[in-house]
Structure 1
Amino acid sequence: MTTTENPAIGKDVEADGIRTNYLESGTGDDHVVLVHGSGPGVTSYANWRLVLPELGKDFHCVAPDMVGFGYSDRPVDVAYSLDTWADQTLGVMDALGIERAHLIGNSFGGGIALRLATQHPDRVRKLVLMGSMGVHFEITEGLDAVWGYEASFENMRRVLDYFAYSRELVNDELAQVRYEGSIQPGFQEAFSSMFPAPRQRWVEAMTVSEDALRALPHRALVMHGREDKVIPVSNSYKLMELLDNADLAVFSHCGHWSMIERTADFNRLVRDFFLGD
């Protein structure tokens, strides 16, 4: 999937003026674009490493690093916003000659997918929204801690505790790897500038109007971990009500990492959803 020894670094493309790192799996004309979440030190690889190999068996998958995250460029004059990230995602599709694609959005990435779909509905086939933003909610303690992360091993350990239901997934080794990822040159500086306190305003900045959501015609699969401490499961119930053509899957004993904590179920549901009528 990648061209370097670092599995998080793949190919790159100019997308809406931003040099964008992306991972790729599979081939063909049935395209899937995967948009990651907004945790400290996050990359597309960290979010989708267990998903890309499986979905790549049936689809051509592209997973970009959003500007300000991972190994994409961080222009000093960039304005981090929902429109910026949505335009970058569309720019990746344009640069790779992808006319229409299924979208998978994780958390913050769900808000981006929804914005892209409402602004360019003809470019989107089906939507998968996992632990998604995009609607109003009162910021959780978990999300406030994630967005307010200050780089240290101890803080990373505390943030990871919000993400997963299973304590087996959150250990010192993972915290060390993610901490080291968060302190690579430019990573923390960009991240800390995106969501300064008070952070409720950034929840609102990631929302899409309810009228626009009601007007979306796309088939959607809304997925959530029942024990999610970062994005409340009530978000997904709200999305199911607003989106006319949406189904809902809620995973028990699962936090904010459905694609990691319930990998086999996630991959199976998404594959069947995209391949179905």
Structure 2
Amino acid sequence: MKKIGKTILAVLVLIVVILFVYTKIDKSPSEDTISKELRNWKSNSEVFQFQQFNISYFDTKDASKEVIVLLHGYPTSSFDWSLLWEDLKKNYRLIALDMLGFGLSDKPSDIQYSISLQADIQEAILKNLQIKRFHILAHDYGDNVAQEMIARFMESGSKYPFQIRSATLLNGGLFPETHKPTRVQSLLASPLGSLISPLVNQSLFENSFKKVFGAQFLPSKQDLIDQWYLICQQGGNRINHKLVHASNDRIVNQERWRNTLVQDRIPILFINGLQDPVTGKETVDRYRKIVPNPNLITLDSIGHFPQLEAPKLVQKNLVRFINNPEMIFEEPKVLINVVTTNL
């Protein structure tokens, strides 16, 4: 038995060594490899202090316009909104931050990342900017942050310091029973997550990331470099196992967050790319069963990132909904036949 145990241990050590060499752990994109678009995006970032942490955020600052708060997903950043930014800011004040642990914000390794904490940060920056009324546009992980904020509004009533005028949600883990994480995400969420996280290199990230896009809308090599660069800032690629804590939050808050989808005080629009292997058709089917008369738009050829794969379509329906949030509509299929994205 001792001999078998030593053999197993030796095999495990060998696997770790091979993975260590294969992944080239310390290699991450340098500043000179990123796109002009990301450089411009970075140049417009500001910093907000939350407790001891620096939070990167973007604000178009036009106080005369209605406000849209944009909440990004996992494992990316506010840069996901860049293809919508220029057109939307013509008519709206836009506020987007990189959540703690993401993008250009601080990425501490010694805290528990939770959706509640991320909602606290969103509320803190809105108070600091003296924003009281706003619409929400959220994606993925950001959908759960939006649900947490709506739940707080429902529970606090008139005591809640903000008025959420509407919420538009893009592909996200609204229901734990229909959320299907990628293999890498599953490993990161496992007890081996802390060992797996530093072994995820650019190649593994790119292979996993591309799989959640629609076949017609795959990201370019430059897009992938930009995304990996943002993930790697401040060693963020080593804490991904901590950021997947949202999967536990979805279970703990399952009923509470589900109630946010059926309340009638804040209008909600759900836009979903059906080619998404993580939160695609099953999530839509579940949404239809739970939400009566849903405001729902499904995109046949689009995957997990509608705002990157079909930004014009997302923008069109977001504005349409903001202008008439009381309207109930469902378009079961919006078939995309022509590539309309710049990604």
TM-score class, shorter-chain normalisation, is: 0.7 to 0.9
Who is 2:89 aligned against?
56
Select the residue among 114, 127, 131 that pairs with 2:147: 114
Secondary structure (helix, strand or coil) at the match of 1:272 reads helix
Q: Distance in 2 between matches of 1:176 and 1:159?
A: 14
1:69, CA displacement in angstroms? 0.6
Spell out, residue by residue over 1:20-76, the C-alpha distance to the aligned partner (whole angstroms, 9 max, x if none). 21122362241110000012xx2201x100111111111111011111111122345
Distance 1:74 1:168, change over 3 A: closer
Q: Distance in 2 between matches of 1:205 and 1:103?
A: 23
**2:69 corresponds to which letter in structure 1?**
V
- Which ranges of structure 1 fall in alignment gaps of 5 or more residues? none
Spell out, residue by residue over 1:93-140, the C-alpha distance to the aligned partner (whole angstroms, 9 max, x if none). 111111021111101100110110110255311000100223222442
Distance 1:76 1:25, change over 3 A: same
Of residues 234-243 and 72-81 in structure 1, the stretch that sits farther from structure 2 once superposed is 234-243
Secondary structure (helix, strand or coil) at the match of 1:133 reads coil
- C-alpha contact (below 8 Å) 2:139/2:171 kept by paired residues: yes
Structure ID, larger Rg: 2
Asked whether 1:251 is paired with 2:299, we answer yes
Who is 2:332 aligned against?
none
Asked whether 1:7 is paired with 2:54, we answer no
Select the residue among 68, 73, 80 that pairs with 1:37: 73
Secondary structure (helix, strand or coil) at the match of 2:42 reads coil
Secondary structure (helix, strand or coil) at the match of 1:234 reads helix
**2:49 corresponds to which letter in structure 1?**
E
Distance 1:60 1:191, change over 3 A: same
Asked whether 1:128 is paired with 2:180, we answer no
Asked whether 1:103 is paired with 2:150, we answer no
1:240, CA displacement in angstroms? 4.7
RMSD, aligned α-carbons: 2.7
Secondary structure (helix, strand or coil) at the match of 1:179 reads helix
Distance 1:205 1:25, change over 3 A: farther
Distance 1:15 1:32, change over 3 A: farther
Asked whether 1:262 is paired with 2:310, we answer yes
Q: Distance in 1 between matches of 2:119 and 2:172?
A: 15
1:195, CA displacement in angstroms? 2.6
Select the residue among 51, 56, 72 that pairs with 1:21: 56
Q: Distance in 2 between matches of 1:16 and 1:128?
A: 29
Distance 1:250 1:17, change over 3 A: farther
Distance 1:244 1:138, change over 3 A: closer
Secondary structure (helix, strand or coil) at the match of 1:105 reads strand
- C-alpha contact (below 8 Å) 2:269/2:296 kept by paired residues: yes
Asked whether 1:214 is paired with 2:262, we answer yes
- C-alpha contact (below 8 Å) 2:274/2:303 kept by paired residues: yes
Select the residue among 239, 253, 268 that pairs with 1:190: 239
- C-alpha contact (below 8 Å) 1:118/1:213 kept by paired residues: no
Spell out, residue by residue over 1:222-245, the C-alpha distance to the aligned partner (whole angstroms, 9 max, x if none). 010011112233324434554457
Q: Distance in 2 between matches of 1:206 and 1:159?
A: 27
Distance 1:204 1:15, change over 3 A: same
Who is 1:145 aligned against?
184
- Percent identity, aligned pairs only, is 18
- Which of the pair is proportionally richer in helix? 2
| TM-score normalized by the length of structure 2 | 0.70
- Which ranges of structure 2 fall in alignment gaps of 5 or more residues? 1-37, 155-161, 189-196, 326-343
Of residues 78-87 and 23-32 in structure 1, the stretch that sits farther from structure 2 once superposed is 23-32
The count of corresponding residues between Structure 1 and Structure 2 is 268
Distance 1:223 1:168, change over 3 A: closer
Distance 1:26 1:94, change over 3 A: closer
1:168, CA displacement in angstroms? 5.3
Q: Distance in 2 between matches of 1:16 and 1:99?
A: 21
Of residues 18-27 and 234-243 in structure 1, the stretch that sits farther from structure 2 once superposed is 234-243
Distance 1:73 1:97, change over 3 A: same
Who is 2:251 aligned against?
204
